[in-house]
Structure 1
Amino acid sequence: MTDHRKISQTLEKLLSSKTFSKPGVYRDLLNYLVNCSLKGETPKEQQIALDVFGKKADQEKELNVRVYILNLRNKLKEYYQNEGKDDTVILQIPKGKYLVEFKFQTYKSFKRSLEKYSLGLFISGFVLIIIAFILILNTDKFRQPKQAIWKGFLKPNYPILIVLGDHYFFTDSIATGRLGASRDTRINSNEDLDDYLKIHPEQIDKIRKSNTTYINRQAPLGLFTIMKMFGGGVANVEMKYSSQLRWEDTRNKHLIFIGSIKTLQFLKPTLERVGLKYDLQHSSFTYQTADSTLFFDNRSENYLDHEYASLIHFCAKDGRKVLFLLSDADVGNIAAMKYLTDKKNSDFQEKENEQNYKAVFEVKGQDLTDFKVDLIRIDPIKENISEIWP
């Protein structure tokens, strides 16, 4: 769908710009070509000469039309390099054609919308900075963790890398007819997109990779809980998004991963090796024990989220600890994190008799509120960790 209103506004701005102030023939020519393109018409050289220049075209005049088109194309390039560098609609004349193509710069439109609320964002950000500053100054607000699962991250003296799972987007034509960020739960990495395009080659010219990602609420809320234990100088903490993570980032560091099962990126095979295999399309997973395979289905019932959050914890041979907290809906990880930091839940600490184990929590809740959370499985990981983690 073509947005005629925005195109008309852009054309009006172009025609009144310094770049198109003179000679006037280029304003007439651009206006003519835009109107023809909006009607779906592609005029011939003779028609342009007659309609714009008011003369019947001979061979010499046809050559002049080409020159005028070339000069007009150069004027558009000059305009967008200077006066129109922040425009959200780009007018282009393809080589060898006498029509105008319209390109919508969605990211610039978003930036412009964001600038409208810059003062409010600045104030909110300033308040958060003040709060963080107060917390850092008052280091007594930070308490070293008491539970064994967290205390292990303080010895030996490795930095703690916190990885927040962020969701993958690609660029596609959205419902309004423009290019925008799209999400498909089956496509969670560049590799997934490549595999999809191999099966659907007709989409190759329509879908492009994007740097746009987003995190849902479980990740930052989990980060906040962790920083209450390890912030304020208690530990050396670093943070990355899962889309930014590379294997080399994990070396010589403890790692805590918090996020949706759809944000694992290249770490997914690691979890499969310890007996957790996720079906992303159906939001379910299988859990391998020593003698059976269990199936867990995340679903909603009676307006409640019924979520199974999973935990994987193991120790590398050099003493580095690795912890994954995974769920589908936000409430799963939020409830599991609350459970694991509550000293009242001694049942988990009593069962935690090995360094390498996996567990499942059953959570019932709504939105960000858990009404019930139960530890229903905890099993040792028997696989050789040196073959799983670098």
Structure 2
Amino acid sequence: MTSGTSEAPAWHSVALAELDRILQSRFLRESKQLCALLSHAVHETLAGREDGLKEYILGLQVFNRPPDYDPRNDAIVRVQASLLRKRLADYYEHEGRDSVLRIELPRGGYTARFVPAKNAALGVEPAVLPQAEDLPVQQLGGGRYWPALLTGMALGALLVTLVALWLNRDRWPRKPASAALWGAVIDSKAETVVSFGVPLFFAGGSGFFVRDTAVNTIFEDTRRVKHLGDVLGYTFRPQEDVYTGIGDAIGTHHVANWLQDRGVQTTVANSNYLGLSDIENKNLVVVSSARFQTLLQQLQRPNVFPFDPGNDGPGSGFAVLNPLPGELPFYRPTGTVGVNTSYAVVSLWPGRQPNTRILYLSGIETWATQGAANYSIDTDRLTDLQRRIDQDPPNGPRGKKGPYFQVLIRVEGKNNRVRTSSYVTHRYLPAN
């Protein structure tokens, strides 16, 4: 428990200052519920009222649930606490990496924990850091109580060790799994627009729509659509914003949620309604099947894995310019009954303004596009990609190493549903 004296320990002011910084950070400031939960947990813990930090009580006091609220049927507290833990981890990986005191919400409970950070012994008076007897204690099995931190002597040894670690901080593995692909987006204070592609349909009236996958702009050959209209007695006219691919929609949803979980201010938009002014000083993520027309065609970014719709050849797919040994010059979908292999490309380009990025997640089919989205937010896949990029030489066969690149991935599916996404190859892109 906290000290029984009327005057709060000096380290409480450090904890409250750290709480204010977290609440004002980009990781929490947009979420009133997470701010309320963290603030309540910290203040109640500092006041020694840990007994009130129970799921049912939090549901009533923080999330305004009625008295008959049943936590077994309403998981609001558990869900928000889980999300809060993720946001705190992201905060201390970025904005809060130099904080002298870390605020944590350990799993299995809702009592806040206060931990001196790695640089706590540098330029900070020990008197303002929590001592073992001042910190909240956690109840363990058998009803016994143990200090949340070591005793004063052990804490001193711990701080000595942390000083040594700090002095060797250049050796720390600071790169998160997502650094190469998402680092600039997550670290940026810019808003991120996540947009989904929309295919071109033709409307014949009375709710009758036709889609020709070989026609994606009004300037392309529409003779097949016209012939079908003549046969059926309909006059088909171009009609946008009717439907989009299921994979595009699911992929957009997953990516937007993933970014929001990491404190990125995110909006979702229809790519047909986006203009250059809409992405001014913003990051842009486009989740769109390769056939669909988006703002990216206007931006004309470099592309070493160009898409061929296959209108005049053996089928659609991605070409590989200057393939390396073991690589194919062209990657096309294959499959048997119910089981399919397709391909997608993840592209990272510079944005329109400094310190912004454009990310394009694009598959041959809509389900392959979802596979690209899944790949881009999967921790294991991102770790593997980061390892490959870290191992590349400064100027090797995949191009001059830089922050912009494209990744060709293989997507395995069954009945048009994604099963796995895996790496095929990658190339570096010029900055402009």
TM-score by length of 2: 0.49
Change (3 A) 1:233 1:276: closer
Would you say the 8 A contact 2:198–2:240 is kept in 1? no
Q: 1:100-249 counterparts in 2 under 5 A?
A: 139-140=83-84, 143=87, 144=90, 146-148=177-179, 149-172=181-204, 180-192=208-220, 196=222, 206-231=235-260, 234-249=263-278
Is 1:344 aligned with 2:377?
no
Q: Secondary structure of 1:325's match?
A: strand
Counterpart of 1:320, as a letter, is T
**In structure 2, distance between residues paired with 1:135 and 1:160:** 24
Would you say the 8 A contact 2:194–2:256 is kept in 1? no
Q: Secondary structure of 2:291's match?
A: helix
Would you say the 8 A contact 1:336–1:361 is kept in 2? yes
Q: Which residue in the other structure is 1:277 paired with?
A: 306
Q: Which residue in the other structure is 2:333 paired with?
A: 298
Would you say the 8 A contact 1:351–1:378 is kept in 2? no
TM-fit CA distance, 1:314: 1.8
Would you say the 8 A contact 1:142–1:228 is kept in 2? no
TM-fit CA distance, 1:304: 1.1
Q: Which moved more, 1:201-210 or 1:182-191?
A: 201-210
Q: Which moved more, 1:215-224 or 1:265-274?
A: 265-274
Change (3 A) 1:157 1:211: same
Counterpart of 1:348, as a letter, is L
Change (3 A) 1:373 1:202: closer
Q: Secondary structure of 1:308's match?
A: strand
TM-fit CA distance, 1:185: 0.8
Unpaired segments of 5 or more residues in structure 2? 1-73, 91-175, 391-401
Would you say the 8 A contact 2:342–2:368 is kept in 1? yes
Q: Which residue in the other structure is 2:160 paired with?
A: none
User: Once the two structures are superposed, what CA deviation does each residue of 1:179-206 show, in whole Å capped at 9, x if it has no partner?
Assistant: 62211112223444xx647x97998992
Higher-Rg member (1/2): 1
**In structure 2, distance between residues paired with 1:141 and 1:261:** 36
**In structure 2, distance between residues paired with 1:303 and 1:202:** 29
Q: Which moved more, 1:139-148 or 1:303-312?
A: 139-148
Q: Which residue in the other structure is 2:403 paired with?
A: 355
Q: Which residue in the other structure is 1:315 paired with?
A: 350
Q: Which moved more, 1:355-364 or 1:370-379?
A: 370-379
Unpaired segments of 5 or more residues in structure 1? 1-129, 386-390
Q: Which residue in the other structure is 1:327 paired with?
A: 363
Would you say the 8 A contact 1:334–1:368 is kept in 2? no
Indicate which of 259, 268, 286 corresponds to 2:319: 286
Q: Which residue in the other structure is 1:16 paired with?
A: none
TM-fit CA distance, 1:358: 0.6
**In structure 2, distance between residues paired with 1:216 and 1:142:** 30
Q: Secondary structure of 1:231's match?
A: helix
TM-fit CA distance, 1:208: 1.7
Q: Secondary structure of 2:344's match?
A: strand
**In structure 2, distance between residues paired with 1:349 and 1:376:** 14
Would you say the 8 A contact 1:159–1:254 is kept in 2? yes
TM-fit CA distance, 1:327: 0.6
Aligned residue pair count = 249
TM-fit CA distance, 1:289: 3.9
**In structure 2, distance between residues paired with 1:151 and 1:343:** 13
TM-score by length of 1: 0.54
**In structure 2, distance between residues paired with 1:236 and 1:266:** 21
Change (3 A) 1:279 1:351: same
TM-fit CA distance, 1:331: 3.6
User: Once the two structures are superposed, what CA deviation does each residue of 1:144-199 show, in whole Å capped at 9, x if it has no partner?
Assistant: 485112232123311101011122212137xxxx662211112223444xx647x9
TM-fit CA distance, 1:367: 3.5
Counterpart of 1:188, as a letter, is N
